[in-house]
Chain A
Amino acid sequence: MSAPILSVENVSKRFGGVVANDAVSLAVPEGAIIGLIGPNGSGKSTLFGSIVGFHPVDGGSVRFRGEEITRYRVPKIARMGLVRTFQQTHIYGQMSCLANMLISIPQRQERFLASFRRPKGEEIERAESLLASVGLWEKRQLAAGELSFGQQKLLEFAMALMCEPRLLLLDEPTAGINPTLINGLVAQLRRANAELGITLLVIEHNMRVIMNLADHLYCMAHGRILAEGDAEAIRADQRVIDAYLGAQ
């Protein structure tokens, strides 16, 4: 594997008395698909927030493509090509699905004056084909807020792809998605990874999906990294089994 595109070192985050992340370290190699699992409330979503600058961390460092980004703010980190999706869907409710896609083009080299042009034909094409790939093409003129939760989840995923990130953090992409669609979604993720070269870090509760998808897995519990390894190793790890059983 190549050099890590993202390396998290000893990141801690407290909310009042709750220690949501406790000296968490992990590395995401360029081009890989990495899984992040753990019982409810183990601090996975909080770690995403810590990485993308959603809240200031209490300690530790985050490096993206060799650059120290621990103190950067969300928009700047996003423009560097590190984008996350939300567990609770975040979309632009009153705008049409197509507009949701069109506003999600990469902002990396976006000049200020460029915001005073209309969307280009190729952008519209790309937006529509991405919408089609998640099965939302028929809904493209519908206000995004009218979509069901699962559809919003798919839309948010398509928006993330539209943004062409280098590293995409997905927070439970299959939650609320119809089981028959999940296979398609997994194929999409693979394709984004292989064809577009997007590195993926995926939080997932669906073990079948994540064991299948990820090259390498981290398991969190009580704000700490409990274990890491490939699917086999994680499946066999007694601590992981205990964590899940203990939580239930």
Chain B
Amino acid sequence: MSGARDWWLMAALLCVGIVAPFLFPALVAQFAFLWLMVVFALSWDVMGGQMGYNSFGNILFFGIGCYTTAVVQRDFGFDYFAGLGAGLGLSGLIGVGAALLIGRAILGLRGHYFAIGTLGLGIAAAEIAGGWHYIGAGAGMVTPVFPGGVDTRNLFFYGLLFALAGSCFIFLRALYQCRFGMAINAIRDNEDKAEAMGLHTLRYKITAWCVAAFFLALAGGLAGNMIGFIDPRDVAFAGATYGVWMVLMAVLGGKGTLWGPVLGAAIFHLVQELFWTYLLGWQRVALGGLIVLIVVFYPQGIMGWLRERRAGHAVRDGEAQA
């Protein structure tokens, strides 16, 4: 993807992002969720797509963000905005701290062992949160009431989530252009070789995990407040919804590409809204079927499919010239 086209696309998205809530005021909350999905897919792809560590437990950091922010808001006696700010700050810190701590142990696992190990972590977190009374146990937590009308509230969170998604994208784009991006790609392609060439593989792996954790924790703090109610299993550590969606969106758009997760998130969000609106009660049946279809027939995702098509054209053009 060439630099100039990236900038054009980013500028276009910026315009869309600013204009959309005013064009479709009724859909602001949906759009806010769209940006949340973009953060999900982008942050998952750091590990899964770029580094080849397919995590099914990144939801852990989202949940940590949800609860940390809500606890700060409940216990620290700040007013709404100060509480939210402090909560988000602390969420980022604790998210990264948790990633550092857990990463040391779990990033030694490779391949499917890593995938299933992280799956276990995410579910264990949900179960612990569901039994821990300090954070409301199974009854969950209610976040403080936003000082303002519903529309202002929606617009406020829309703006923040848009900014988060935007900064996540720009940050990751820069990251992938540095040596760091190459290093995690190298780990994905051949970790033994990366070690044999003296790369600090564990250090890179932990850093990537921390980056994902940071953005997810912030997303959790915002989303918890936007939803207004934090259920341990259905919001904070919602492995069966958000947790799987992250993976699916990145795979759908194209793992390991910059724009793939964004594209995948947009398409998936639309599909998911349709399922949840028109197929209520059967929405997971439809989603499960969709997952199987995508994975079996389009594992390379939309971006991968486009690239293959382009490569096919190039070959045919080459033959035509010859």
Touch test A–B (CB under 8 Å): yes
Residues of A within 8 A of B (CB): 52, 54, 73-76, 78-79, 83-84, 86, 90-95, 99, 102-104, 106-108, 110, 112, 114-119, 145, 159, 163
Chain B residues closer than 8 Å to A86, beta-carbon distance: 193, 196
Q: Which residue of B lies closest to A146 (CB)?
A: B311
Q: How far is the CB of B54 from chain A (nearest CB, A)?
A: 15
Residue among B189, B190, B198 with most chain A CB within 10 A: B198
Q: Is B5 an interface residue (CB 8 A)?
A: no
Q: How far is the CB of A143 from chain B (nearest CB, A)?
A: 10
Q: How far is the CB of A19 from chain B (nearest CB, A)?
A: 24
Q: Is B93 an interface residue (CB 8 A)?
A: no
With A78-B197, A83-B197, A103-B199 in contact, do A94 and B189 touch (Cβ < 8 Å)? Answer: yes
Q: Is B186 an interface residue (CB 8 A)?
A: yes
Chain A residues closer than 8 Å to B183, beta-carbon distance: 103, 115
Residues facing A in B160-188 (CB within 8 A) are 175, 177-180, 182-183, 185-186, 188
Q: How far is the CA of A119 from the CA of B181 in the complex (A)?
A: 11
Q: Is B6 an interface residue (CB 8 A)?
A: no
Given contact pairs A79-B198, A91-B193, A107-B198, a sample of 5 additional A-B residue pairs in the complex whose CB atoms are under 8 Å apart = A74-B195, A78-B197, A90-B190, A103-B185, A118-B177
Interface of B is mostly: helix
- For B190, give its contact among A91, A115, A119 (CB under 8 Å): A91
Chain B residues closer than 8 Å to A95, beta-carbon distance: 182, 185-186, 189
Closest A-B pairs by Cβ, 8 of them: A78-B198, A92-B189, A107-B198, A90-B193, A79-B198, A103-B182, A115-B180, A74-B195
Q: Which residue of A lies closest to B256 (CB)?
A: A94
Q: How far is the CB of B200 from chain A (nearest CB, A)?
A: 7
- For A83, give its contact among B175, B185, B198, B203 (CB under 8 Å): B198
Chain B residues closer than 8 Å to A114, beta-carbon distance: 179
Chain A residues closer than 8 Å to B283, beta-carbon distance: none
Q: How far is the CA of A91 from the CA of B200 in the complex (A)?
A: 17
B196 to A83, Cβ gap below 8 A?
A: yes
Chain A residues closer than 8 Å to B272, beta-carbon distance: none
Q: How far is the CA of A75 from the CA of B192 in the complex (A)?
A: 10
Residues of B within 8 A of A (CB): 175, 177-180, 182-183, 185-186, 188-190, 192-201, 203-204, 256
Chain B residues closer than 8 Å to A106, beta-carbon distance: 198
A103 to B198, Cβ gap below 8 A?
A: no
Q: Which residue of B lies closest to A77 (CB)?
A: B198
With A91-B190, A94-B256, A118-B177 in contact, do A99 and B182 touch (Cβ < 8 Å)? Answer: yes
Chain A residues closer than 8 Å to B256, beta-carbon distance: 94
Chain B residues closer than 8 Å to A91, beta-carbon distance: 189-190, 193
Q: How far is the CA of A239 from the CA of B179 in the complex (A)?
A: 50
Residue among A52, A104, A163 with most chain B CB within 10 A: A104
- For A93, give its contact among B189, B195, B203 (CB under 8 Å): B189
With A74-B195, A83-B196 in contact, do A103 and B186 touch (Cβ < 8 Å)? Answer: yes
- For B199, give its contact among A75, A119, A145 (CB under 8 Å): A75
Chain B residues closer than 8 Å to A115, beta-carbon distance: 178-180, 183, 204
- For B196, give its contact among A52, A99, A116, A117 (CB under 8 Å): A52
- For A75, give its contact among B179, B188, B190, B200 (CB under 8 Å): B200
B198 to A94, Cβ gap below 8 A?
A: no
16 contacts between A and B (CB under 8 A): A75-B195, A75-B198, A75-B201, A78-B195, A78-B196, A90-B192, A92-B186, A93-B190, A95-B182, A99-B185, A103-B197, A112-B203, A114-B179, A115-B178, A118-B179, A119-B179
Chain A residues closer than 8 Å to B182, beta-carbon distance: 95, 99, 102-103, 119
With A52-B196, A74-B196, A107-B199 in contact, do A118 and B178 touch (Cβ < 8 Å)? Answer: yes
Chain B residues closer than 8 Å to A102, beta-carbon distance: 179, 182
Q: How far is the CA of A69 from the CA of B155 in the complex (A)?
A: 61
Q: How far is the CB of A45 from chain B (nearest CB, A)?
A: 13
Q: How far is the CA of A119 from the CA of B192 in the complex (A)?
A: 23
With A95-B182, A117-B178, A118-B178 in contact, do A104 and B189 touch (Cβ < 8 Å)? Answer: no
Q: How far is the CB of B218 from chain A (nearest CB, A)?
A: 20
Q: How far is the CA of A83 from the CA of B178 in the complex (A)?
A: 24
Chain B residues closer than 8 Å to A93, beta-carbon distance: 189-190
Q: How far is the CA of A207 from the CA of B179 in the complex (A)?
A: 40
Q: How far is the CA of A159 from the CA of B193 in the complex (A)?
A: 11
Q: Which residue of B lies closest to A120 (CB)?
A: B179
Chain B residues closer than 8 Å to A94, beta-carbon distance: 185, 188-189, 256
